[in-house]
A and B are shown apart, each in its own frame.
Chain A
Amino acid sequence: MDLIINLTLNGLATGMLIFLLAAGLTLIFGLMDVLNFAHGGLFAWGAYSGLWIYSQTDSFIIGIIGAILMGFLLGIITEKWIIKPVYGNHVQQILITLGLMLVLSEMLKVIWGPNQITASPPDYLKGSWELGGIIIIKYRVFIILVGFLIFASVQYVLKKTKIGLVVRAGVMNKEMVQALGINIQKVFMFVFMIGAGMAALGGVLLGPYSGVIHAGMGMEFAILAFIVVVIGGMGNFKGSVLAAILVGLSGSFMAYYVPDLSLAVNMLLMAIVLIIRPQGLFGAKG
């Protein structure tokens, strides 16, 4: 039982980190029809900048806030100067965002060096609780809670506020949103900024979870995030959280029981979903 609960918590924590990356990706794709391959770079930048601020201030909270602000800033710059000129052209988008991904990764090496950087949680999140003989690692619970809090907050904004309503409408029909007098460019910028902030948050949370960060972490997680976006349904926010949990849990259990298949299982999941439901588990047809 101890093992099952720990594998589940591990899977949920990993799932939440993937969700933080995938949520922005799916919203950006759904609203802006942009495949942002640089999204993983924003994740890595969140990790590096946040943990650097954490090391300088000795406050993990300030590190998290710093990472999110870095994500916002990079999101605005990316949308305004990199993505905007190539709206509507998928080939150019793929090329330019892949290029940006490389630039972002290499810049990390230039600023913080090519070696891995170790990271550990703050003292109050270190260690574990023991509940009825079951060891529960505090930091995993923290990641899960932050993940759900972010999910609930974004869900609230999407469902209960005017800007959220506009974003949902924009995912369905951008042209009509503009014809109703709404500046869709501002909405694009807002979504890109929020998506980048969430990715950066995921990055800074990953550091103490995995113990080390490195410049290639963005690409590794971006692949998982793309799998999640496809499984959940492109553009579907709720789908992204459920698919991220599914991928996180399957990865966690497979890594323990059939380690050789732990990476292949995500690809297999995606292939099965694409065969049975090409629009993703929660995506709309057409």
Chain B
Amino acid sequence: MNDLLKLDNVETYIGQYHILQGVSFEVKKGEVTVLLGRNGAGKTTTLRTIMGLNPASKGNVMFKGVPIQSLPTYTIAKKGIGYVPEDQGIFAGLTVEENMRVAIQTENEETAKRMEWILNLFPDLKKFWKKPGGLLSGGQKQMLSIARAYVNENELLLIDEPSKGLAPIVVEKVMDSILQMKDQTTIVLVEQNFMMASTIGDCFYIIDDGRTVSQGTMKQLKEDEEMKRKYLGIA
């Protein structure tokens, strides 16, 4: 068994709304698993449920074989899950340096190495090291958010719509960086941009109306025009 993460029939309410009504999927170590689906299908809530930000009311979320669905968010993060939210979650009044510093859980040689690696991957962050996070461009904020999630030795990264609102040239840059990170960590990616999702992803799950309705390899999805049309609105 090499499932790093497993969701088993997870249900989540936000207030009175029953958002997730049975999401199940497995994430294999070393792979990029892409969650696809239309707007409002429940992809973002799925990531938030894994992080404990919208805790599951039913079902199991297992990380490395251990249930985590009833743990507080900070404990889940400490177990080795990095999170890049849809709105990037940048601390606007903190500098780029401070945004990175606040994320570091333990300062050691490994973290220093990871910091160096990620800053080489995103040289813009080095350039704007002392600049407030709120003054960065959309693409730079996305890079900072990804860098912050990567800097700790997280075994799993949850990345929510990294291409959202970015210019095509910036999307390519972000995509290249995720491709480089792919060799070093396992990733769950929520992405509406099919080009990006299909380039980066190894396998996919489609979420529709709060339920996983389909799964397979990315190669299968690329060839399945009917599924793309039905669930993703791609002609």
The stretch of A125-133, A180-188, A202-210 in contact with B is A180-188
A173 CA / B74 CA spacing, docked (Å):
14
On whether the beta carbons of A169 and B53 are closer than 8 Å, the reply is: no
Of B72, B93, B148, the most chain A CB neighbours within 10 A belong to B93
| Measured CA separation A154–B169 after assembly (Å) | 44
Given contacts A168-B94, A169-B102, contact A176 B74 (CB under 8 A): no
> Roughly how many angstroms separate A180 CA and B91 CA in the complex, as a whole number?
12
A267 at the interface (CB under 8 A from B): no
CB of B105 within 8 Å of the partner chain: yes
* A89 contacts partner chain B, Cβ-Cβ < 8 Å: no
Q: Does A62 contact B (CB under 8 A)?
A: no
Would you call B150 an interface residue if the criterion is a C-beta within 8 Å of the partner chain's C-beta atoms? no
Using an 8 Å CB-CB cutoff, how does the interface string of A151-168 with B read, 1 for contact, 0 for none?
Answer: 000000000001001101
Contact status A166-B105, CB under 8 Å: no
A91 within 8 A of B: no
CB distance from A10 to the nearest CB of B (A): 34
Say if the beta carbon of A177 comes within 8 Å of chain B: yes
Contact of B94 among A169, A179, A181, A184 (CB under 8 A): A169
**A3 in the interface, Cβ–Cβ < 8 Å?**
no
Which residues on the A side are within 8 Å of B98 (C-beta)? 165, 168-169
Q: Is the CB of A181 within 8 A of B102?
A: no
Check: A175 CB closer than 8 A to any chain B CB: yes
User: Whole-angstrom distance between the alpha carbons of A169 and B103 in the complex?
Assistant: 10
Chain A, interface residues (CB within 8 Å), range: 10 to 19
Query: Given known contacts A178-B73, A179-B53, is B105 in contact with A172 (CB within 8 Å)?
Result: no
Query: Which one, A172, A184, A284, contacts B74 given CB within 8 A?
Result: A184
CA separation between A180 and B94, bound complex, in Å? 15
With A165-B98, A169-B94, A284-B93 known as contacts, the answer to whether A181 contacts B77 (CB < 8 A) is yes
* B92/A172 in contact, CB under 8 A: yes
Residues of B close to A181: CB separation below 8 A: 74, 77-78, 105, 152
Q: Return chain B residues, CB-CB under 8 Å to A165.
A: 94, 98, 101-102
Alpha-carbon distance between A40 and B160 when the two chains are bound, in angstroms: 44
Asked if B78 and A172 make an inter-chain contact with CB atoms under 8 angstroms apart, the answer reads no
Measured in the bound complex, the distance between the Cα atoms of B101 and A166 in whole Å is 9
Q: A178-B72, A181-B105 are in contact. Are A173 and B77 (CB under 8 A)?
A: no
B85 part of interface (Cβ distance < 8 Å): yes
Q: How far is the CB of A235 from chain B (nearest CB, A)?
A: 10
Q: Considering only CB atoms, which chain B residue lies closest to A177 in the complex?
A: B102
B83 interface residue, CB < 8 Å from A? yes
- A172 B85 Cβ-Cβ under 8 A: no
- Residues from chain A with a CB closer than 8 A to the CB of B105 are 180-181
Question: A175 to B53, Cβ gap below 8 A?
Answer: yes
Nearest CB on A from B26, distance (A): 22
Q: Are A182 and B74 in contact (CB under 8 A)?
A: yes
Nearest CB on A from B91, distance (A):
5
Closest to A184 in B: B74
- Least CB distance, B118 to chain A, in whole angstroms: 15
Determine whether the beta carbon of B91 is less than 8 Å from that of A176. yes
CB distance from B114 to the nearest CB of A (A): 15
For residue A191, give the distance in angstroms from its CB to the closest CB of chain B. Answer: 15
- Listed from nearest, the 5 A-B pairs whose CB atoms lie closest are A176-B89, A181-B77, A178-B73, A181-B78, A179-B83
User: With contacts A172-B94, A173-B91 known, what are 17 further pairs, Cβ within 8 A?
Assistant: A166-B102, A169-B91, A176-B85, A176-B89, A178-B53, A178-B72, A178-B73, A179-B53, A179-B83, A179-B85, A180-B77, A180-B102, A180-B148, A181-B77, A181-B152, A183-B72, A183-B74
* 19 A-B pairs in the complex with CB atoms less than 8 angstroms apart: A162-B101, A162-B102, A165-B102, A166-B102, A168-B93, A172-B91, A172-B94, A175-B89, A176-B89, A176-B91, A178-B53, A179-B51, A179-B73, A179-B83, A179-B85, A180-B77, A181-B78, A182-B74, A183-B74
